[in-house]
């Protein structure tokens, strides 16, 4: 596997209207890497994912995927770009009126002209990958929350994506389902060699499975490192964040208005 960056933010700034959300962000995600993005509520984590998928364009700087600037892609290029991408969102619900089989088959039918037999083989393979072979005839209403999330994961990987974007994949799951999904995310990332970006509030579970973590605060990268570096960090900011303490430099209730990185000497940490 090549060890070069597949996703790269080069001095990216983005705002909704006049409100600057991300400011001069630079980061790199290597091929095959699983990276977590963490930060307080409203810090711009989902915005960062939208920049990668091309739903929004950077106002300054570049978002490069496989060397190509997502912000400069035309409609046709964006369509191709998204075809290489799998997404699992907290509210990425299944189509409730379609059985599991058709839910997983949906992107395959939409984006390829494979024969029904091939579609069937692929669907069964993906269901097997998430440990839910045998559920193809069930309707979404017949699934538990954890199973539904795994079926959504099977659908997200149906086309063997090169990039996976996860937005709060653990939210609303019981501890066992959460551990199962986390393990699957890790296993699939390794098996498929995808570059994966995961926005999450679940610090402890994420640190068990990711290769690298970026913390966002005040529109900037407040800290970054491998899980071991993060755990060993003596930064009060990181310490407060990973221990979920209410008091400290992080304001959980409101989006930070100015760079905490600067205030705590964490710039480029
Ligand atoms: N389409 C939009 N128009 C205007 N403001 C928006 C839009 N989408 C998000 N915002 C604002 O931008 C800020 C960053 O939003 P974003 O969803 O990226 O944060 P987040 O870090 O993912 O938050 P959370 O953890 O709460 O989901 C928030 O203050 C949000 O209210």
Report if residue 119 sits inside a domain: no
Residue closest via CA to ligand 1's atom 30 equals 42
Would you state the pLDDT for residue 266? 41
Would you state the pLDDT for residue 92? 63
Q: Are 133 and 123 in contact, with CB atoms under 8 Å apart? A: no
Would you state the pLDDT for residue 242? 81
Q: Average pLDDT for residues 136-160, to the nearest whole number?
A: 94
Phi, psi of 229 (to 5 degrees): -65, -40
Would you state the pLDDT for residue 235? 82
Report if residue 185 sits inside a domain: yes
Which CA distances in Å does 5 have to 10, 28, 66, 197?
12, 6, 8, 13
Interatomic CA distance for residues 242 and 230, integer angstroms:
8
Would you state the pLDDT for residue 247? 64
Find the domain containing 234 and state its range.
Answer: 5-84+161-263
218 lines ligand 1 (CB under 6 A): no
Strands 68-69 and 19-30: unpaired
249 lines ligand 1 (CB under 6 A): no
Tell me, in angstroms, the distance from the centre of ligand 1 to residue 253's CA. 13
Report if residue 198 sits inside a domain: yes
Q: Average pLDDT for residues 255-259, to the nearest whole number?
A: 43
Which of 20, 46, 167 is the best mutation target for the ligand 1 pocket, counting ligand atoms within 8 Å of the beta carbon and taking the most? 46
> For 189-243, what is each residue's pLDDT tens digit?
998 899 999 999 888 899 999 999 999 988 999 899 999 999 888 887 788 778 7
> For 156-181, what is each residue's pLDDT tens digit?
999 999 999 999 999 888 999 999 99
Would you state the pLDDT for residue 5? 87
Report if residue 26 sits inside a domain: yes
3-state secondary structure of 9: strand
Report if residue 253 sits inside a domain: yes
79 lines ligand 1 (CB under 6 A): no
Report if residue 210 sits inside a domain: yes
Report if residue 76 sits inside a domain: yes
Report if residue 182 sits inside a domain: yes
Tell me, in angstroms, the distance from the centre of ligand 1 to residue 15's CA. 10
Query: Is residue 98 scored above 50 in pLDDT?
Result: yes
Atom of ligand 1 nearest to the CA of 255: 29
Give the model's confidence band at 269: pLDDT under 50 very low, under 70 low, under 90 confident, else very high: very low
Would you state the pLDDT for residue 261? 44
Query: Is residue 253 scored above 50 in pLDDT?
Result: no
Give the model's confidence band at 91: pLDDT under 50 very low, under 70 low, under 90 confident, else very high: low
Would you state the pLDDT for residue 237? 78
Mean pLDDT of the chain: 88
Tell me, in angstroms, the distance from the centre of ligand 1 to residue 63's CA. 19
16 lines ligand 1 (CB under 6 A): yes
Give the model's confidence band at 44: pLDDT under 50 very low, under 70 low, under 90 confident, else very high: very high
Q: Average pLDDT for residues 98-105, to the nearest whole number?
A: 97
99 lines ligand 1 (CB under 6 A): no
Residue closest via CA to ligand 1's atom 20 equals 42
The domain tally of the chain equals 1
> For 111-128, what is each residue's pLDDT tens digit?
899 999 999 999 999 999
Would you state the pLDDT for residue 265? 39
Atom of ligand 1 nearest to the CA of 47: 18
Q: How many CB atoms neighbour CB 250 within 10 A? A: 24
Which of 37, 44, 257 is the best mutation target for the ligand 1 pocket, counting ligand atoms within 8 Å of the beta carbon and taking the most? 44
Q: Are 261 and 267 in contact, with CB atoms under 8 Å apart? A: yes
Residue closest via CA to ligand 1's atom 23 equals 42
Atom of ligand 1 nearest to the CA of 48: 18
Residue closest via CA to ligand 1's atom 7 equals 16
Query: Residue 251 is part of a domain; what is its CATH number?
Result: 3.40.50.300
Interatomic CA distance for residues 67 and 117, integer angstroms:
36
């Amino acid at each position: 596997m090549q060890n070069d960056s597949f996703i790269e933010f080069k001095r990216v700034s983005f705002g909704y209207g006049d409100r600057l959300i991300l400011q001069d962000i630079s980061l790199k995600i290597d091929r095959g890497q699983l990276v977590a993005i963490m930060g307080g509520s409203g810090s711009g984590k989902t915005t960062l994912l939208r920049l990668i998928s091309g739903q929004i364009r950077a106002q300054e700087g570049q978002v490069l995927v496989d060397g190509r600037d997502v912000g400069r892609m035309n409609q046709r290029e964006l369509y191709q770009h998204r075809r290489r991408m799998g997404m699992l969102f907290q509210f990425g619900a299944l189509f409730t009126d379609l059985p599991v089989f058709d839910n997983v088959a949906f992107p395959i039918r939409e984006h390829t002209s494979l024969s029904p037999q091939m579609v069937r083989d692929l669907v069964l393979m993906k269901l097997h990958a998430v440990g839910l072979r045998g559920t193809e005839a069930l309707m979404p209403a017949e699934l538990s929350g954890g199973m539904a999330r795994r079926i959504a994961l099977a659908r997200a990987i149906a086309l063997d994506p090169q990039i996976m974007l996860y937005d709060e994949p653990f939210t609303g799951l019981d501890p066992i389902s959460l551990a199962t999904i986390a393990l699957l995310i890790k296993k699939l990332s390794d098996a498929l060699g995808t570059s994966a970006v995961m926005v999450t509030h679940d610090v402890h579970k994420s640190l068990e499975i990711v290769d690298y973590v970026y913390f966002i605060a005040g529109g900037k990268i407040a800290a970054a490192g491998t899980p071991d570096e993060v755990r060993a960090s003596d930064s009060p900011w990181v310490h407060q964040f990973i221990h979920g303490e209410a008091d400290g430099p992080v304001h959980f209730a409101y989006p930070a208005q100015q760079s905490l990185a600067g205030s705590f000497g964490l710039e480029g940490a």
